[in-house]
Amino acid sequence: MASTDPEKETTNTFFDLTITHHGTAHSFCFDPSSTIIDLSNHIHTTLSIAPNYQKFLISPKTGLLKPPFSDPTLLLSALRNKTIKLLAPTPSELSSLARSSAQASPSRPQGSSTLKPALPSRTRDWRKIQEEATYTFATLIPLPYLPHSERSLRFLERLRADPGIKAAMRAHKFSVGTLTEMNPAEHTTHESRTLGLNRNRGEVIELRLRTDAYDGYRDYKVIRKTLCHELAHNVFGEHDRDFWDLTGKIEKEVEAGDWKSGGHALTSEEFYNPADKGLEGGHVDGGGWTGGEYVLGGTEERTGGSAKQGLTRRELLAKAAEERLKREKDVGKGGGKMV
């Protein structure tokens, strides 16, 4: 009877590797020689997500990996006992984004050329270019079910291209999976309005771009300052002294790095939509911060808690929905109009 070699059997054994994408687990079967390139190609084939949109958050220890991989020979067998999250938009989100971009692109007269005159070459800072491509927002996603999503996309693009934001992200090596807009109705209660949210320390950052009435967009400087706060949550989860020191440092770096305005505050002439008035004055300066969210209308100190601290995001959404239904019932009884 022939003897078996346990080591050889182990070497030739196929194994399952599980990744999580938008909360859904996907299991794939690989052979022991499969590498990170094979995983990327398999996701492209099965989930229809191209490699340039893929980003893998692997824990513990391994960190963030994305094509082109620094080590394309990394064996998947070394990742079997690790948690793998795929940070990438879904195919439907990519389709909506493509449609919004196509609608936002202005039509050119027939016969016009898109080529620009050749200019003398300049010495480029390739290290800076590489770092800006690494330390940035990998994906921008407006909410396709809200009107004028192409305008929200332009707003997000402007934030990503902001010289001050780019300088701060390079300085602190911040890499964010997705930057998206927040639906005001889902983050509004009688007591407060949430301006920003950071999930899983940089996996997703949500920003409140629109006014409460959905008839315009908020002030660019207010939103940019909110983004500075949410970026600080990539490092610190609690609102302690270290967090506020980092937030202040990022805000100063953004102002100093904003060479388009000479390091000073932007004027209304630079808004891509000058008619947008932002938030009403009474709401811009007041505020409290709770659990990774920048909230307007809070009544406690910045370093303190709030009435909703400790609630999960699901519980906060449920509470907001409950309060909206209550307001609608009150309006129906009084025959008035909701404001």
CA distances from 241 to 232, 287, 288 (A): 12, 17, 15
Give DSSP secondary structure letters for 124-139: --HHHHHHHHHSSEEE
Question: In terms of DSSP H, where are the helices of 190-293?
Answer: 220-232, 241-257, 281-284
CB atoms within 10 A of CB 94: 17
Q: Outline where DSSP puts E strands in the chain.
A: 15-21, 24-30, 56-59, 63-65, 83-86, 137-141, 176-181, 193-199, 204-207, 288-290, 293-296
Of the candidates 294, 288, 292, which has an alpha carbon nearest to the alpha carbon of residue 307?
A: 288
CA distances from 297 to 193, 251, 306, 338 (A): 6, 21, 11, 19
Residue 29: phi, psi to the nearest 5? -100, 130
Catalytic annotation on 301?
Answer: no
Instruction: State how beta strands 288-290 and 193-199 pair.
Output: unpaired
Of the candidates 180, 178, 179, 177, which has an alpha carbon nearest to the alpha carbon of residue 144?
A: 180
Long-range contacts of 317-323 (CB under 8 A, 24+ apart): 317/186, 317/187, 319/189, 320/185, 320/186, 320/187, 320/188, 320/189, 321/186, 323/189, 323/190
Which residue is catalytic, options 230, 253, 255, 293? 230
Instruction: State how beta strands 137-141 and 176-181 pair.
Output: parallel
CB atoms within 10 A of CB 305: 15
Q: How far apart are CA 321 and CA 184, in angstroms?
A: 12
Active site (catalytic) residues: 230
